Amino acid sequence: MSHPSVVALALAPQAVAAREDGPRAGRTIVRAVVGLLMGVGLGFVIAAALPRRRAWETGPGGAP
């Protein structure tokens, strides 16, 4: 799970834009949160697709 400050930094520009947007502020924040969640989900998909080597398969020092 991401540290709260990382999430805050990721959403900070959207929060500033939302403040300037006025009535559409809620929608801007929701879009920012959905985009952040989609990015995290995409990271998990990429990580799952990459081949992983377990420590007992690599040998000493991580060499194959």
Residues 6 or more apart whose Cβ sits within 8 Å of residue 57: 64
Counting the structural domains of the chain, the total is 1
Residue 41 lies in a domain: yes
Q: How does pLDDT run across 18-41, given as a tens digit for each residue?
A: 666 666 777 888 888 999 999 999
- Of 15, 13, 18, 11, which Cα lies nearest the Cα of 39? 11
pLDDT of residue 29: 83
Residue 64 lies in a domain: no
Residue 16 lies in a domain: yes
pLDDT of residue 51: 78
Residue 59 lies in a domain: no
Range in 1-5, 51-55, 57-61 with the lowest mean pLDDT: 1-5
- The CA-atom distances, in angstroms, between 42 and each of 3, 12, 36, 39, 48 are 18, 21, 10, 5, 10
Residue 31 lies in a domain: yes
Give the angle subtended at the CA of 57 by the CAs of 47 and 64, to the nearest 5°.
Answer: 90
Residue 57 lies in a domain: no
Whole-structure pTM value = 0.45
Confidence of residue 50 (pLDDT cuts 50, 70, 90): confident
Residue 26 lies in a domain: yes
Residue 20 lies in a domain: yes
